[in-house]
Each structure stands twice: as structure tokens, then as C-alpha cells.
Amino acid sequence: MSAFVYRHGVLHAEACAVPDLVRQFGTPLYVYSKQALVEQYQRYQDALGDYDGHICYAVKANSNLRVLAVLAEAGAGFDIVSGGELERVLRAGGKADRIVFSGVGKQKDEIARALAVGIHCFNVESYPELELINAVASELRLVAPVSLRVNPNVDAGTHPYISTGLKANKFGVPIEQADAFYARAADLAHINVVGVDCHIGSQLTDIAPLAESLDSVLALVDRLAEQGIQLRHVDMGGGLGISYQDHETAPDIEGYIDFLKQRLASRGLALVLEPGRSIVGDAGIFVTEVALLKEGEEKNFAVVDGAMNDLLRPALYGAWQRVQPVVPRTEPDAGELKHWDIVGPICETGDFLAKDRALNLQPKDLLAVMQSGAYGFVMASNYNTRPRAAEVMVDGDKVHLVRRRETLDDLLALEEGLH
Ligand SMILES: Cc1ncc(COP(=O)(O)O)c(C=O)c1O
Ligand SMILES: N[C@@H](CCCC[NH3+])C(=O)O
């Protein structure tokens, strides 16, 4: 059940009325639900059950320390893509031996730190990277656990910017080259090959492309076994989508994991998954206030105090997210339903949160952009010298400020050269 529901005509986050949160913390504001976060993680964990493996939450989706701490406490592992994300996970109480390290450009110092703390494995994406990891491990007199990220050349059927499993994408090693890659890795003294990894894209609403990728991955696993290279785990990445629009249905997490377990069990393979959006996406909203209404001949614009720097998905991918009034107007004061483009104050035509939405609006109205828990705050910037929004997490009727609003002093603090 959604943690964001109307009660007595007011949008609530769990037991907290959103207007109360706004009075306390201002706008624009990210609001997360602890209950929604834990419930969604628990679905993955329960579906895995006592099957050997890890649910490694993809930190990039929402890396707030409190979000990570809640998931660490629930028992999550983590998928990281930088040294910065590694430190976040460790600070939040995540266990190093449940971390997988993905990404095409891992740096020497990031590799060294990950080796020193003892992560579960590196998801390697190229030969030069494999050699770098071997060299760093050799310097530290350690052995690096490694999984190869294969690119199965499968169309994930998602937005081209978030599709990662095609030959044209920069990710992974083409699956036809994987046999040779493993043979070479097996010869390196400081590399221990433990698995195979595949992540074909994000916001998938159909699991057929994942099943197709799994076929190729398992054929590779079987070929390697014949050559005496026995892998211990298969990591199918993340990618399960959520319902941003009514016509989109989120894939069935339990059904998907059951399917994976069935395919892996006969080969004695453990299962690793790296879900991001499907854990945190529904657990957050972005709240913004209408600053002014600008009605025109062709278009009506509602200028709000949130912008593309706060929530980039609409500008970057043309993404469509639900926009709901925090306190919907009711008869007899419902006013006139008009179509609005919800735009921010930034000097870019692409600065919109939504287009052509039928709403009854007045200045100072609060709007909630739903499904903003994933790839929301993490993609925020300071463009137009806009301090980034505050983030709060509700837990029943309690609310915790989990990142304070930035100030102008925060923004200017790192700049030098005036005197
Ligand atoms: C390697 C890797 N793993 C996991 C994820 C998480 O994906 P999602 O948020 O779609 O579950 C991503 C992002 O797409 C990724 O690049
Ligand atoms: N940022 C993207 C997802 C990218 C996934 C990263 N591999 C989105 O908002 O949809």
C-alpha cells in the first residue's frame, strides 16, 4: 500500500500531513517514507528467502545516509559505482562483504580502498580495468574477487539513455568475448573469478529481456564449467521498473526472483541482484509550491519553486511523473480546471517538471511530484546558484530531517580567488 495517501482531503506521508512538513521544513522538499522503503526492500529479501545470495541496493538511486542506514539495518547489501558511494555505505553501517562495485571507470585509489575493506566483488567491465585491479591487488598483496559484467546485446525496451545492454552502450564486455576474458582472468595471480554480472537497463516493465539475457549468461556459465572455470554467483543487476504512469505496471518482484532461483539452483549458483528504483522510487515525493501563474494564449504556465536542478528526470529523459495537489480543491471552491505546464524558475526551456496537466491552481498551492524517491535528489545540481532542497524521512507520525536545505554560504564556501 502506498505510504502517500489523502486523509481528510490532505496528502499525507504515512501519518504526517504534508502541509505540516512544509511549514516545518519549507519547499522544495523531498519527503521519504521509511515504511515504504523497508517494505519494498523486504519484498526482495523475502523472495530470496534462504536461497544463497545478496540483495545489493543500487546506491546511485538514492544515496542519502539515512536511506542507506535504514536498508543496512534491514540487512541489505549495496551496489556502488564510486569511492564516494563506498564511504557512504560504510558510514551508514553497511557491511563491506556485501558490497559489489560496478562502473566502467574505477580509479586506482577507489580499487585500493575497496580491496582494503574487503568488498564482496568487483564487477569488471573491460580488460584494462581487470589489469588495473590485478596490479593494485598485487601491490597490496591481496587477491581481488571479480565478476565479469557481460553485455548480452539485448534491447531492454527502455529509454535509450538508460539502456545499458546493447553493443552500442559503453557497459560491460560483449558476451562473445567473455570466454576469452575469463581464460585470461584465470591466469592473473591476484584475481579470483567468482561470478558473472549483467545489467541491461533501468525502468524495465517487461522481464522478457532479462530472461533473454539470463539465457545467454547461463550458456556462458555452462561453457566455462566445461573448461574448469566454476562460477559461484550470477548477478542480474537491477532494472525492474515502477509505475510512473497508469498504463505502466511494475513487474512482479516475487515472480521474477522465483524464476531466477529456479534457473540458478540446478547449477548451484548464488543470486545477486542490484535493485535501485524498485526499492526507493515509490518511497519518495518531491513537494514544491506554486510561485505564480502565467496564463497565455497558447500555454498556461505554473511557475513553481522547484526546478530541473532539483528533479532532473523530466528535463533529461522527457520523463512523465504524476503531479498531485497536496490539498485538492473541492466544490464549491474547486475553481476552474485548466491545463498547465509546471515549470521552474531556471533559465532553460527544458526546465519543466510536467507538461499539460489538468489542475485547479492558485498561487501558494502545494504540488507533489510522485515517485520521486529514485534518481531525484541524487541528480540535483546547483545550476542557477540554487541551493539544493531539504530531505526528510517520515516514520509513522515522526519526521527526521535527513539532509538540511543548502544555504548560499554552503554553495559559495568552496570558491576562491576574489582576494
Ligand atoms: C550496474 C547497475 N546496477 C544497478 C542499477 C540499478 O538499476 P535500477 O535502479 O533500474 O534498479 C544500475 C542503474 O541502472 C546500474 O547501472
Ligand atoms: N537516472 C535514471 C536511471 C539511471 C540508471 C543508472 N544506471 C533515471 O532517472 O531514470
Q: Write the ipTM.
A: 0.98
Q: In the numeric block, which cell numbers belong to residue 29?
A: 522538499
pLDDT at 159 (0 to 100): 76
pLDDT above 80 for 91: yes
Mark whether 347 is an active-site residue.
yes
Nearest bound ligand to the CA of residue 161: 2
72 C-alpha to center of ligand 2: Å?
A: 22
Q: What is the number of H-type helices and E-type strands within the chain?
A: 12, 21
Pairwise CA distance, residues 343 & 301, whole Å? 7
Looking at the chain, the whole-number percentage of residues with pLDDT higher than 70 is 98
pTM: 0.97
Q: DSSP labels for 299-359?
A: -EEEEES--TTT--HHHHH-----EEESS---TTS----EEEEEE-SSS-TT-EEEEEEEE
Regarding the beta carbon of 239 and ligand 1, being less than 6 Å apart is answered yes
Pairwise CA distance, residues 197 & 417, whole Å? 46
> What residue ranges line ligand 2, CB within 6 angstroms?
60, 162, 202-203, 313, 375
Question: Cα–chain-centroid distance for residue 260?
Answer: 21
Pairwise CA distance, residues 158 & 239, whole Å? 10
pLDDT at 172 (0 to 100): 81
Give the angle 391-241-245 at the CA atoms, nearest 5°: 80
Helix (H) or strand (E) holding 56: strand 53-58
pLDDT at 155 (0 to 100): 80
Q: In the numeric block, which cell numbers belong to residue 258?
A: 522465483
pLDDT at 334 (0 to 100): 78
Rounded average pLDDT over 340-346:
98
pLDDT above 80 for 156: no
Confidence bin at 418 (pLDDT 50/70/90): confident
154 C-alpha to center of ligand 1: Å?
A: 16
66 annotated to bind ligand: no
pLDDT above 70 for 166: no
Residues facing 354 on adjacent strands = 342
Contacts for 235 with CB less than 8 Å, ≥ 6 apart: 56, 100, 123, 147, 195, 196, 197, 198, 271, 272, 273, 274
**Phi and psi dihedrals of 196, rounded to 5?**
-135, 145
Rounded average pLDDT over 339-368:
97
Domains detected in the chain: 4-32+281-412 (2.40.37.10), 33-280 (3.20.20.10)
Q: In the numeric block, which cell numbers belong to residue 122?
A: 568487483
Pairwise CA distance, residues 134 & 111, whole Å? 10
Nearest to 338, CA basis, from 365, 370, 371: 365
Pairwise CA distance, residues 156 & 162, whole Å? 9
pLDDT tens digits, 10-42: 999 999 999 999 999 999 999 999 999 999 999
